[in-house]
Amino acid sequence: MDSKELRSLFLNYFQEKGHKIVASSSLIPDDDTVLFTTAGMQQFAPYLSSQKNVLEKFQTRHLCSCQKCFRTDDIEEIGDDTHQTFFEMLGNWSIGQDQAGYFKEGAIKYALDFLVNKLGLVKDKFHITIFKGNSFIPKDEEAKEIWERHGITHFHEFGEADNFWGPVSNVGPCGPCSEIHYDRGEEYGCKDCGPNCDYCKRFVEIWNLVFMEYFKNEKGEYEKLKQTNIDTGIGFERLLAILNKENSAYETDLFSDLIKEIEKHATLKYKDDKIAYRIIADHLRGSSFLIGENILPSNTERGYILRRLLRRIIRYARIIDLDLNSIDRLIKVIILKYHHIYPELNQENIVNIFNIEKQKFARTLEKGLKEIEKLTEITPRQAFFLYQTFGFPIEMIKEEANKKGIEIDEKGFKEELKKHQEISRKGAEKKFGKNASEKEIKLHTATHLMHQALRDVLGESVQQMGSSINNERLRFDFSYTKKLSQEQIKEIEDIVNQRIKNGFKVIKEEMSLEKALATGALAFFKEKYKEVVNVYTIKNNNEIYSKEICAGPHIKSSENLGTFKILKESSSGANTRRIRAVIN
Ligand code: SER
């Protein structure tokens, strides 16, 4: 089965069952707190939470789509069997319930009917995950009972991490889910494991059915929605691979024509370096779709992602000796594959943008090569520096080093890379993130203001040593040798409150670490950061008050931030002070 056929089979099936086919929305979502569209439900979020009336807009509660999606978390994993930056998601929705609506029973019935009767998959290979419940939502016995009634026998229970979906950003509709995983058989992994196995890829998730009946509010609480909804999503690439009994989407028609075309213009063949081929193929497709959204290469946000993809194509092209003058031929294959449903892809435009970036990157590479020229040995740390600063892949560093007769400790480099990734992951998980409440977010912004005020009052030697925020207070540790006087404390409070009163906005920008540091953003524990970081700037029309590298989240403006007050200042170890403060 090819991709075109699967897309139509899915959409036609749901159309026959009374669903309206809705065109994919843009890769750039309306909700500007997220970079890209990563799920089919995003365009329907206001209807799922009943802020907007679904019947007025679509004249039906039942919708289906094939949605363009883009994920950036796993760029380094591209090349293995399962990761892609751009992908498509098939989904069906029942938004709100009346006599004609459906909920768990209907969603399960349709999913099984489509997979078994339309696609010919064997029901006994399905393993179903069930939400096991938490302190406020009970175990989903209802879903389990329905699956059982439909002849399913393999079940696995999971908690919030695996079996509760959404919201996409901090706030929005969400709910427990039940996933269909497909068992590819023992030969693909462990003898005795199940879905979400840490060790193997025997089980592949093919369909996620979300029973969307909660709303996560700004305080981080889950409220029951006025209506129940069904939101489902199939990873299109994955399902296509399974239907074709392939290990990976890279072996399906979505990529195989492109890979064949690349082979025509390269010295190494696909079998010689699958990883490089897959990276090039994924990034060519991904960047074509980003350009299709009128995104241009730049150093921030979406433009930075596009720049990164284009530069990685160029680097990996060197590894397989791909002639980049053939770019128009490669893009043409992508256009042929997708143009019938995504007419926004324009060959000339994509090729032009690619070529301009190629020239720019050539200049950066030249600088990096000069850097290597100066070195007489390349330690793992230096290799990592080249990798991070100039974007050299290790293969290229090796190639250049070999020309000079220098050996590279590749294992050492990989350890360095892993260390870096682990630290940045820990950094990201540590404090805030998706689950911060509104109060915590406010205290977080107040922390940035106070941090700058401390530096203004006590001097630039003040460095952040630690920070912790809960719903009541902020706590901030910083380097300083003396106890603060009452006057100093008052001055710090006044500075922060004055800024709040004057009115400011918090602007978030995504940029390379290099650029963030160059523009003077505060950053401590430098090694914790990733290549691309968020910089939060607090400013008003007259003044840029604070600029810090930070994972967020933050409030958008000082309206309603409240009054800042320091409760306590004390010692917290040698040459370290601790402040506890609140906003009311
Ligand atoms: N929103 C769910 C997902 O993205 C189902 O569509 O997996």
Query: Right CATH number for 3-249 from 3.30.930.10, 3.40.50.1000, 1.20.1250.20, 2.30.40.10?
Result: 3.30.930.10
Does 231 contact ligand 1 (Cβ within 6 A)? yes
State which of 44, 196, 210 you would mutate to test the pocket of ligand 1, scoring each by most atoms of that ligand within 8 A of its C-beta: 210
Position 560 scores a pLDDT of 78
Partners of 155 in beta bridges: 128
Position 238 scores a pLDDT of 96
**Distance, C-alpha 59 to centroid of its chain:** 33
Q: Confidence band (pLDDT; 50, 70, 90) for 421?
A: low
User: Which residue owns the Cα nearest ligand 1 atom 6?
Assistant: 233
Does 167 contact ligand 1 (Cβ within 6 A)? no
Identify the top-confidence range among 71-85, 303-317, 335-349: 335-349
| Buried residues in 508-523 as b, exposed as e (16+ CB within 10 A) | bbbbbbebbbeeebbb
Average pLDDT over residues 415-428: 66
Return the minimum-mean-pLDDT range out of 44-58, 241-255, 453-467.
453-467
- Closest alpha carbon to 282 in 300, 262, 296, 265: 262
Does 206 contact ligand 1 (Cβ within 6 A)? no
Where do the structural domains in the chain lie, given as residue ranges?
Answer: 3-249, 252-408, 438-583
Position 391 scores a pLDDT of 65
Position 55 scores a pLDDT of 94
Instruction: Please determine, for residue 485, whether its predicted confidence score (pLDDT) is greater than 80.
Output: yes
The two structure tokens encoding residue 460: 């630039």
The two structure tokens encoding residue 41: 């439900």
* Distance of alpha carbon 553 from alpha carbon 536, whole angstroms: 9
Whose structure tokens read 């779709």? Answer: 289
Q: Chain-wide mean pLDDT for the chain?
A: 90
Question: Pick the residue with more confidence: 43 or 392?
Answer: 43
Count CB neighbours of 278 within 10 A: 23
Average pLDDT over residues 342-370: 91
Does 235 contact ligand 1 (Cβ within 6 A)? no
The two structure tokens encoding residue 183: 């068992």
The minimum-distance atom of ligand 1 relative to the CA of 209 is: 5
User: Which residue owns the Cα nearest ligand 1 atom 7?
Assistant: 233
Position 435 scores a pLDDT of 61
Position 432 scores a pLDDT of 47
Is residue 63 a contact partner of residue 28, using CB atoms and an 8 Å limit?
Answer: no
**Tens digit of each residue's pLDDT (9 = 90 or more) over 496-536:** 999 898 888 899 888 887 788 777 788 765 345 677 788 99
The minimum-distance atom of ligand 1 relative to the CA of 166 is: 1
User: Which residue owns the Cα nearest ligand 1 atom 4?
Assistant: 39
**Tens digit of each residue's pLDDT (9 = 90 or more) over 270-282:** 999 999 999 999 9
Average pLDDT over residues 547-560: 84
Average pLDDT over residues 205-231: 94
Does 91 contact ligand 1 (Cβ within 6 A)? yes
Position 423 scores a pLDDT of 62
Average pLDDT over residues 334-347: 96
Question: Pick the residue with more confidence: 435 or 212?
Answer: 212
Q: Phi first, then psi: give them for residue 511, nearest 5 degrees.
A: -155, 170
Question: Pick the residue with more confidence: 508 or 268?
Answer: 268
Q: Confidence band (pLDDT; 50, 70, 90) for 427?
A: very low
Burial group, residue 485, by CB count within 10 angstroms (0-12, 13-18, 19+): exposed
Position 429 scores a pLDDT of 42
Return the minimum-mean-pLDDT range out of 137-146, 170-179, 464-473.
464-473
Position 426 scores a pLDDT of 63
* Distance of alpha carbon 437 from alpha carbon 92, whole angstroms: 31
**Distance, C-alpha 46 to centroid of its chain:** 21
**Tens digit of each residue's pLDDT (9 = 90 or more) over 571-580:** 887 778 999 9
Measure 54 CA to ligand 1 centroid, in angstroms: 19
Instruction: Please determine, for residue 299, whether its predicted confidence score (pLDDT) is greater than 90.
Output: no
Position 359 scores a pLDDT of 92
Is residue 258 a contact partner of residue 334, using CB atoms and an 8 Å limit?
Answer: yes
**Tens digit of each residue's pLDDT (9 = 90 or more) over 396-417:** 788 788 888 888 888 888 888 7
SS3 (DSSP) at 39: coil
Position 18 scores a pLDDT of 95
Average pLDDT over residues 347-367: 91
**For the domain 438-583, what is the CATH superfamily, name and number?**
Threonyl-trna Synthetase; Chain A, domain 2 (3.30.980.10)
Whose structure tokens read 């026998």? Answer: 153
